[in-house]
Amino acid sequence: MAYRFGDVCVDIARLAVSRAGTPVPLEPKAFDVLRLLIEHRDRLVAKDELLDAVWRDTFVTPNVLTRAIAQLRKALGDDAQEARYIETVTKRGYRFIAEVTVETDPPAIAVPAPAPSASASAPALSVPAPSEPASEPAAAAALSAVPAVAAVPAAPADHPSTPASASAPGSAPRPDPREPPPLAWRGWPRPASQRSS
């Protein structure tokens, strides 16, 4: 079922509103207020009745109803001073005053997509799929970096604890197990107890 008034269509089954064929986003509570006003268009609907019906079991102030009515007027193109759809009865409530046509099989209304969140607006990173081959410049840069990473400097020739034949290219030098480990840096003398005569 749908209600039509002016250029507005309110589709109750799909919970959607369109104006001149364009979907109009509404908060769920504002939609419920509009539906209730249209269904009781033959009379004044009191503020307390609207609050009890739409915000039942929730403690709210009358400001939420005022905000919902303001959102409806903006969405429908209505004006509080010269109302065409929703009339305000001061300190009492609201009345729906437009002539309404009821349709039992309305055309479909496209529901607008929700607005993107802040995180969705961040730029996406471009990552190639695993099956894609790397480009030639990227592959050449990756291969040229491999020898620099894998190369390990050989121990100095004058280092007393490492024979030249013990260290293979690309491996850490091994100390000679026959000598005690050095206690000082290269160039500093060893303690007298470890000096050879």
Which CATH number fits the domain that encloses residue 86? 1.10.10.10
Which structural domain range is residue 40 located in?
A: 2-106
For residue 137, is it within any domain? no
Within 8 A by CB and 6+ apart from 48, the residues are none
For residue 162, is it within any domain? no
From first to last of its 197 residues, what are the pLDDT tens digits of the chain?
999 999 999 999 999 999 999 999 999 999 999 999 999 999 999 999 999 999 998 888 889 999 999 999 999 999 888 999 999 999 999 999 999 999 887 555 555 555 554 444 444 444 444 454 444 555 444 445 444 444 445 544 454 544 444 445 555 566 666 766 555 545 555 556 655 55
pLDDT at 72: 95
For residue 191, is it within any domain? no
Distance CA 89, CA 109 (A): 32
CA distances from 138 to 126, 130, 135 (A): 15, 15, 5
Distance CA 61, CA 65 (A): 8
Q: Could you tell me if 170 and 152 are in contact, meaning their C-beta atoms sit under 8 angstroms apart? A: yes
Q: What is the distance between the terminal CA atoms of the chain, rounded to a whole angstrom? A: 110
Q: Could you tell me if 53 and 140 are in contact, meaning their C-beta atoms sit under 8 angstroms apart? A: no
Counted domains in the chain: 1
